[in-house]
């Protein structure tokens, strides 16, 4: 059997154990990022043979990656066969190595398709392997709400589709009919507008002709009477004749090109000589001088060599005409009642307007209306076309929008250089006949659609009601009956964006609530949650928010005034749980910036909630996210970045707290713990880094590291024939999240062949309580190794006396708080008696004074540890103590 060669696969990616993510690498650059566990599950699902699946499960697991980083393993490689959906079989070679990087913990993986080198093996696999069914990487989410919503909507889909189809057909027909009417009327309107503009232009030019004749008549009068009148009398006559001839001002021009007038106020800003030289005889010229007044006048000159006054010669007469006065003739014509007539210069500046309706809205330039052209028009091309036409004296039509109304405009040049006349009119195309027909067809259209539309509205109304009910379910919490986290996020985001005041986000946690649930049941637990929720609602304002996020955790958005005021409010809220013996923890993040993302605020509030440095009241504890917390987080982040390197560099040192027989003060064992000799931070006790290891899932790695180091030392001494004292290893809570955690210790013990009598395991009372369902199996497993099991931190109040009867432990260790706090001797003795009644040895931890040793001996306590006996010593010193 031959296997057809397929395209070869090359894949390089890096596993970042800090962010638990997979980063694809292409051409040496980072590409897309995926969540690690889901990404590697993808490969496991497509393993062809059982051995492939097992190999992939072993190597592509977070615990395996952690083990590589902890032990600094050399590069590894293995081969496996996969078959992706729709693809052929492939044999891939996987090479894994630790990337040495001081700032992050990364494993690089290279996958190379070597199918072309394994053709015979690939053919055999393809012939003998069973076809594997595709299994999704993760179970689908619960989509009951979506399914219910789809069912509610499906009842109206067919009716809605039919109604929509009918609407579309009739609307297209109706729109086509209206468009035909529109097109016809549009052409007529454009033609009428241009004709109106031309008639208006002719009217203005006719008025200009009348004015020119008046100036000529004025010249004839002065010529006829020039020899008998003086210059002053002629100027007075010009002044008095303004009303008769319609000009605003008139002047004589002497031989030196100076203006002679009784009132020169309108000419004071003009260069008179330049004006006279540029003025053509018997032609109107638009003045372009400075000042507002000169932009609204037309200048008309008439020259003559017969002008003489008392023997003095003049070369001509100049008359100024007010532009609005000339144009008023348009306002008096009924033909222009519906149109707005505008006069402008070549730059589009408005000089006169008969109505000032549209022009007032577009400021002072007529071309500014083109900033809002009709949709579909090219703005730049339209402006260039209009300007080009105006420069060469052409007429034209364009359209624009004003206040949502479509306006048609026509323009044509005047006989005066630099002046253009514009005519504007709204788009009023529909006449009475067309309107009547349109209303008839519209009425018929409504009747046709009325019945199915009413049916659709009825069904949609009920669908909307059902959708509202579904949304209420989606936004309501089933325990508190208040808003849930989804609705809270939506409301809180809007409130923060509005930022009418400073807010703070508060996350809550009920201390040891899981224990309360196991002790009293989940129904009682839900009652406590509802009690806390109602208590919070009682103490917050109407514009503040609260919701339950999950389990016993809640989220509150409060208005922030001061830190002290917020503390008082949290203390008041916690009082709602008086009588339950339950305390509440609060983590607070102050939101001072409207741009802060809600998820960031949640993360910071959660950091404050997890902080160990809290302030306490009788029923509550709280912490604010601030500089101190940021420094703590920064400190922990530095530790996170170096913890794998610390394993490989042997920075974890094991110390032993010796344990003595209280009767004869003989050494009888020791309790192991680890410290971190950090190269920069110095000696770090477990309390500074154990929480980080818990969060990162490295506690099992640390405990197995401690256990293996102890086994090595014990094995070395046994091989040399030396005596060895028992060592007790404390198992942390997160070890029990793994089903095979004890098996790992068992394999290490068997590897070094250590007798069980030299090993003790300590499990705290809290773990015994929380893992009560399988604790018996756990203790039996420890006994099967030949080791003893001690219940640590006894006296914490987790286990009732009747629950201790079934515990198969070999000893109980009193909590250190029994020695540090002023506890009555009778109570300590009572706890020792419980151990005696169980038939196990009793150990007192943290003994500080000789008086404590004496009354413990009186109570028949067997063993003890503490500074009264000895300081802690290194593992090497303890092993070699004999």
Q: Is the dihedral of CA 229, 230, 234, 236 positive or negative?
A: negative
What ranges make up the beta strands (E) of 482-542? Answer: 503-510
| pLDDT given for residue 132 in this prediction | 45
Please check the confidence at residue 147 and state whether its pLDDT lies above 50.
no
Q: What pTM was computed for the model?
A: 0.51
Please check the confidence at residue 727 and state whether its pLDDT lies above 90.
yes
Largest CA-CA distance found in the chain, in angstroms, rounded: 156
Q: How far apart are CA 792 and CA 799, in angstroms?
A: 12
Q: Which helix (H) or strand (E) holds 720?
A: none
* Residue 308 pLDDT grade (very low, low, confident, very high; cuts 50, 70, 90): confident
Confirm if 248 and 318 have CB atoms less than 8 A apart: no
* Residue 6 pLDDT grade (very low, low, confident, very high; cuts 50, 70, 90): very low
| pLDDT given for residue 762 in this prediction | 92
% pLDDT > 70, the chain = 78
Q: Where are the domains of the chain?
A: 10-128, 210-327, 485-625, 636-879
Please check the confidence at residue 843 and state whether its pLDDT lies above 90.
yes
| pLDDT given for residue 156 in this prediction | 58
End-to-end Cα spacing for the chain: 71
Q: pLDDT tens for residues 485-524? A: 888 998 999 898 888 888 999 999 988 888 788 778 888 8
Please check the confidence at residue 437 and state whether its pLDDT lies above 70.
no
- Residue 538's closest CA among 501, 574, 588? 574
Please give the CATH number for the structural domain made up of 485-625.
3.30.70.270
User: Hey, which CATH number is domain 210-327, 3.30.70, 1.20.1290, 3.30.450, 3.40.50?
Assistant: 3.30.450
Q: Is 135 exposed, middle or buried (0-12, 13-18, 19+ CB in 10 A)?
A: exposed
Tokens describing residue 330: 């348009």
Tokens describing residue 238: 């010009």
- Residue 308's closest CA among 320, 300, 316? 316
- Residue 743's closest CA among 63, 2, 80? 63
* Residue 547 pLDDT grade (very low, low, confident, very high; cuts 50, 70, 90): very high
**CATH architecture classification, 636-879:** Alpha-Beta Barrel (3.20)
Beta-carbon contacts of residue 359 (< 8 Å; ≥ 6 apart): 340, 342, 350, 353, 366
Q: Which of 7-16, 230-239, 355-364, 400-409 has the lowest mean pLDDT?
A: 355-364
Is 10-128's fold the same as 210-327's?
yes
% pLDDT > 90, the chain = 14
Q: Which residue has the higher pLDDT, 254 or 451?
A: 254
**Angle (deg, nearest 10), helices 741-752 and 699-719:** 20
Average pLDDT over residues 686-709: 84
Q: Please provide the average confidence, as pLDDT, over all residues in the chain.
A: 79
Please give the CATH number for the structural domain made up of 10-128.
3.30.450.20
């Amino acid at each position: 059997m031959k296997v057809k060669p397929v395209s070869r696969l090359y894949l390089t990616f890096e596993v970042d154990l800090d962010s638990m993510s997979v980063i694809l690498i292409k051409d040496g650059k980072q590409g897309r990022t995926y969540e690690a566990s889901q990404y590697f599950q993808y490969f496991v699902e497509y393993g062809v043979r059982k051995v492939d699946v097992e190999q992939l499960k072993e190597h592509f697991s977070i615990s395996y990656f952690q083990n590589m980083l902890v032990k600094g393993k050399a590069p590894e490689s293995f081969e496996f066969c996969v078959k992706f959906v729709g693809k052929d079989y492939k044999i891939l070679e996987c090479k894994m190595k630790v990337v040495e990087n001081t700032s992050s913990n990364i494993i690089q993986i290279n996958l190379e398709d070597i199918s072309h080198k394994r053709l015979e093996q690939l053919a055999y696999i393809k012939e003998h392997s069973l076809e594997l069914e595709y299994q999704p990487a993760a179970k689908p989410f619960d989509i009951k709400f979506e399914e219910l919503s789809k069912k509610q909507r499906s009842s109206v889909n067919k009716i809605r589709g039919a109604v929509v189809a009918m609407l579309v057909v009739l609307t297209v027909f109706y729109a086509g009919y209206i468009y035909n009417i529109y097109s016809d009327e549009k052409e007529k309107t454009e033609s009428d507008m241009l004709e109106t503009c031309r008639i208006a232009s002719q009217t203005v030019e006719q008025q200009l002709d009348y004015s020119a004749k008046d100036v000529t008549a004025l010249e004839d009068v002065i010529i006829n009477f020039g020899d008998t009148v003086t210059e002053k009398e002629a100027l007075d006559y010009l002044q008095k004749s303004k009303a008769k001839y319609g000009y605003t001002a008139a002047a004589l021009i002497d031989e030196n090109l100076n203006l002679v007038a009784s009132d020169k106020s309108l000419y004071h800003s003009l260069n008179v000589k330049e004006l006279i030289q540029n003025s053509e005889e018997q032609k109107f010229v638009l003045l372009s001088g400075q000042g507002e007044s000169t932009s609204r006048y037309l200048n008309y000159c008439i020259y003559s060599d017969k002008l003489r006054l008392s023997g003095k010669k003049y070369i001509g007469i100049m008359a100024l005409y007010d532009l609005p006065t000339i144009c008023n003739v348009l306002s008096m014509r009924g033909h222009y009642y519906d149109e707005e007539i505008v006069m402008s210069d070549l730059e589009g500046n408005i000089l006169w307007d008969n109505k000032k309706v549209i022009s007032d809205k577009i400021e002072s330039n007529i071309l500014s209306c083109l900033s809002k052209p009709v949709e579909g028009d090219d703005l730049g091309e339209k402006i260039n076309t209009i300007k080009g036409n105006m420069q060469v004296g052409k007429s034209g039509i364009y359209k624009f929008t004003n206040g949502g109304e479509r306006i048609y405009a026509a323009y044509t040049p005047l006989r005066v250089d630099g002046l253009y006349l514009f005519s504007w009119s709204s788009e009023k195309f529909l006449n009475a006949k067309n309107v009547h027909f349109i209303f008839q067809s519209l009425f018929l259209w409504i009747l046709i659609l009325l019945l199915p539309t009413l049916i659709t509205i009825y069904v949609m109304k009920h669908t909307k009601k059902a959708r509202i009910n579904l949304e209420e379910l989606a936004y309501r919490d089933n325990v508190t009956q208040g808003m849930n986290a989804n609705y809270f996020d939506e409301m809180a985001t809007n409130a923060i964006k509005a930022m009418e005041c400073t807010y703070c986000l508060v996350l809550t946690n009920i201390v040891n609530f899981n224990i309360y649930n196991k002790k009293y049941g989940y129904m009682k637990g839900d009652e406590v949650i509802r009690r806390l929720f109602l208590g919070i609602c009682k103490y917050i304002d109407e514009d503040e928010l609260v919701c339950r996020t999950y389990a016993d955790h809640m989220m509150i958005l409060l208005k922030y005034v001061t830190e002290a005021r917020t503390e008082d409010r949290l203390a008041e809220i916690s009082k709602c749980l008086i009588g339950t013996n339950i305390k509440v923890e609060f983590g607070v993040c102050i939101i001072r910036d409207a741009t802060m993302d809600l998820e960031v605020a949640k993360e910071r509030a959660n950091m404050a909630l997890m902080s160990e440095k809290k302030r306490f009241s009788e029923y509550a504890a709280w912490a604010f996210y601030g500089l101190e917390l940021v420094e703590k987080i920064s400190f922990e982040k530095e530790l996170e970045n170096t913890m794998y390197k610390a394993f490989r560099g042997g920075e974890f040192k094991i110390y032993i707290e010796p344990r003595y027989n209280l009767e004869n003060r003989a050494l009888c064992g020791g309790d192991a713990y680890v410290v971190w000799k950090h190269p920069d931070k110095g000696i770090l006790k477990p309390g500074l880094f154990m929480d980080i290891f818990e969060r990162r899932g490295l506690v099992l790695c640390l405990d197995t590291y401690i256990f293996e180091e102890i086994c090595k030392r014990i094995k070395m001494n046994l091989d040399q024939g030396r005596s060895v004292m028992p060592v007790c290893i404390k198992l942390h809570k997160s070890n029990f999240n793994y089903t095979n955690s004890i098996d790992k210790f068992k394999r290490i013990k068997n590897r070094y062949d250590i007798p069980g009598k030299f090993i003790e395991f300590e499990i705290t009372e809290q773990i015994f309580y929380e893992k009560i369902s399988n604790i018996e199996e756990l203790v039996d497993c420890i006994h099967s190794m030949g080791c003893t099991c001690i219940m640590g931190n006894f006296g914490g109040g987790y286990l009732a006396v009747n629950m201790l009867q079934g515990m198969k432990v070999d000893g109980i260790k009193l909590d250190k708080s029994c020695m540090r706090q002023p506890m009555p001797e009778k109570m300590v003795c009572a706890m020792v008696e419980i151990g005696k009644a169980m038939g196990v040895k009793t150990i007192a931890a943290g003994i500080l004074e000789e008086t404590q040793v004496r009354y413990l001996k009186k109570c028949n306590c067997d063993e003890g540890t503490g500074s009264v006996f000895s300081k802690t010593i290194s593992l090497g010193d303890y092993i070699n103590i004999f």
